[in-house]
Amino acid sequence: MVQNLSKVVAQDQKFLNIINGRQVPALSQETITVLCPSDGLAFTSIPASRAEDVDHAVRAARAAFDNGLWSRMAAVERGRLLTKLGHLIEQNSEELAALESRDTGKPIRQGRADVAAAMRYYEFYGGAADKIHGDTIPFNEGYTALTLREPHGVVAGIIPWNYPMQIMARVVGAALAMGNTLVIKPAEDASLSTIRIGELAIEAGFPDGVLNIVTGYGRDAGAALSAHAGVDYLTFTGSPATGTAIQQAAATNNRGVTMELGGKSPQIVFADADIEKALPVLVNAIIQNGGQTCSAGSRVLIERSIYNDVAGALADRFAKLVAGPHDSDLDLGAMINPAQKRRVEAYVSAATEAGIELVARGTIAGDAPATGYYVSPVLFGSVDPSAVIAQEEVFGPVLSLFSFNDENDAIRLANGTEYGLVAGVWTRDGARQHRVAKRVRAGQVYINAYGAGGGIELPFGGFKKSGHGREKGFEALYDMSATKTIVFRHD
């Protein structure tokens, strides 16, 4: 166990890019100061990479792809290396959890959950590497036709700051299992665990250039990577606006993309639901990671006859929620940066000024440093479905409640935003479970449950503005490869 979470980074510890198996600073030697969201204090730095660093990394990934050491390695051996990386993460799990927690401000137990999920990704994709295969296709007499699943080549993975370790793991696991090589660009606000896992990959014995990591600002390193002609495929998780910019850059080279762009996910609570079972899940779905979760359940739709009871029970729970430092391990930590804190606060004050009923509010721990980026959780009631707070992704601990009249009304409300990532449905009626699951436009639908984070095996991705392509599970292996058809004539 790491006894003192703020001691997780040693005085002389350096966080550097990883290019071609070596740890290197940015060519300019410039750095970005790393601040802990819990107190706003600097504790280390990362390279502020630019286009020239990105170019080195892409060239290293290209050379590693072309030399075939990775792409032509027996799939079982690729899988073994991914599994070995998972084991190294397990051996360093407390350090990684503490690092992630200090870097992002998330409570330490969430850091531990993230490490556990990351390990599972490497285990899953390590095991899957030699279990994905093509087809043989009935074709004309005198021919045999078959398909191979081939790697794209060099994949770029642009990672957000909310769950860096988990999102890196799902990208690295699927891309490398299929024989691609990678350049990862973590978010400028949360790069430390990515770098540490890159170091562990060197220790595991991945060939040089297979997994490159370049840190830096989105407008510099991220933009250069998205537009680089040496990249064959891109995968991105983050905001819709940045997703558009990345797709436009990728389009200049006509490259394929996987986009996971957030949501405004509903949970529908019917009058026949097991409310006691639902309540903690409804709260956790918006409070986990301070609501900075793509799949956050930010809208709860409640059947009118039970609206007052459910709203009252949620209000009781919200009033008891406490935000505080990552090492205090409270209900939620700080927001990632001052801009995110201001953004959440602006949504809350605009909604309040628009006359939306603020039903309950949590608190910020008395001993939380004033220099930390805390916001208290907020519950809004009887929200008009056309209100800004009902339509836009806040990415903070803000939950909106709505009432509905019947099943059709619930589905209309659930589908009534531009997003379509995840949905929850709470009802004991089996036929209704099936009907609603089919009619809700979301990439994942949970019945009497909610939660995407842990589901390593479950395909994940959006409809509509939430993006396209699928991550996680076997589906990600299809995104991370291209089908080649081979036809033999033998008449």
Stretch that binds ligand ADP, among 27-35, 70-78, 236-244, 475-483 (CB under 6 A): 236-244
Stretch that binds ligand ADP, among 64-72, 85-93, 156-164, 275-283 (CB under 6 A): 156-164
Distance in Å, CB of 261 to ligand ADP, minimum = 8
**Contact flag: residue 158 with ligand ADP (CB under 6 A):** yes
**Contact flag: residue 253 with ligand ADP (CB under 6 A):** no
**Contact flag: residue 239 with ligand ADP (CB under 6 A):** yes
Q: Does the annotation count 294 as an active-site position?
A: yes
Of 47, 218, 324, 325, the residue at the interface with ligand ADP (CB under 6 A) is: 218
**Contact flag: residue 160 with ligand ADP (CB under 6 A):** yes
CA 465 and chain centroid, separation? 16
**Contact flag: residue 117 with ligand ADP (CB under 6 A):** no
**Contact flag: residue 222 with ligand ADP (CB under 6 A):** yes
Strand partners, 156: 183, 234
**Contact flag: residue 223 with ligand ADP (CB under 6 A):** yes
**Contact flag: residue 53 with ligand ADP (CB under 6 A):** no
Q: Does the annotation count 36 as an active-site position?
A: no
**Contact flag: residue 187 with ligand ADP (CB under 6 A):** yes
Distance in Å, CB of 298 to ligand ADP, minimum = 16
In one letter, which amino acid is 323?
A: A
Nearer to ligand ADP, 219 or 320 (CB): 219
**Contact flag: residue 257 with ligand ADP (CB under 6 A):** no
**Contact flag: residue 185 with ligand ADP (CB under 6 A):** yes
Distance in Å, CB of 158 to ligand ADP, minimum = 5
**Contact flag: residue 242 with ligand ADP (CB under 6 A):** yes
CB-based closest residue to ligand ADP: 218
**Contact flag: residue 246 with ligand ADP (CB under 6 A):** yes
Nearer to ligand ADP, 165 or 445 (CB): 165
Nearer to ligand ADP, 439 or 464 (CB): 464
**Contact flag: residue 188 with ligand ADP (CB under 6 A):** yes
Stretch that binds ligand ADP, among 172-180, 219-227, 311-319, 397-405 (CB under 6 A): 219-227
As a three-state string, the secondary structure of the chain is CCCCHHHCCCCCCCCCEEECCEEECCCCCCEEEEEECCCCEEEEEEECCCHHHHHHHHHHHHHHHHCCCCCCCCHHHHHHHHHHHHHHHHHCHHHHHHHHHHHHCCCHHHHHHHHHHHHHHHHHHHHHCCCCCCCEECCCCCEEEEEEEEECCEEEEECCCCCHHHHHHHHHHHHHHCCCEEEEECECCECHHHHHHHHHHHHHCCCCCCEEECCCCHHHHHHHHHHCCCCCEEEEECCHHHHHHHHHHHHCCCCEEEEECCCCCEEEECCCCCHHHHHHHHHHHHHHHHHCCCCCCCEEEEEHHHHHHHHHHHHHHHHCCEECCHHHCCCECCCCCHHHHHHHHHHHHHHHHCCCEEEEECEECCCCCCCCCCCCCEEEECCCCCCHHHHCCCCCCEEEEEEECCHHHHHHHHCCCCCCCEEEEECCCHHHHHHHHHHCCCCEEEECCCCCCCCCCCCECCCHHHEECCECCCHHHHHCEEEEEEEEECC
**Contact flag: residue 238 with ligand ADP (CB under 6 A):** yes
Distance in Å, CB of 162 to ligand ADP, minimum = 8
Angle between helices 275-287 and 307-319 (to 10 degrees): 50
Of 123, 260, 393, 471, the catalytic one is 260
Of 226, 295, 444, 481, the residue at the interface with ligand ADP (CB under 6 A) is: 226
Of 36, 294, 303, 393, the catalytic one is 294
Q: What are phi and psi of 341, to 5 degrees?
A: -60, -45
Nearer to ligand ADP, 179 or 262 (CB): 262
Nearer to ligand ADP, 158 or 310 (CB): 158
What residues line the site for ligand ADP (CB under 6 A)? 158-160, 185, 187-188, 218-219, 222-223, 226, 238-239, 242, 245-246
Residues that are catalytic = 260, 294
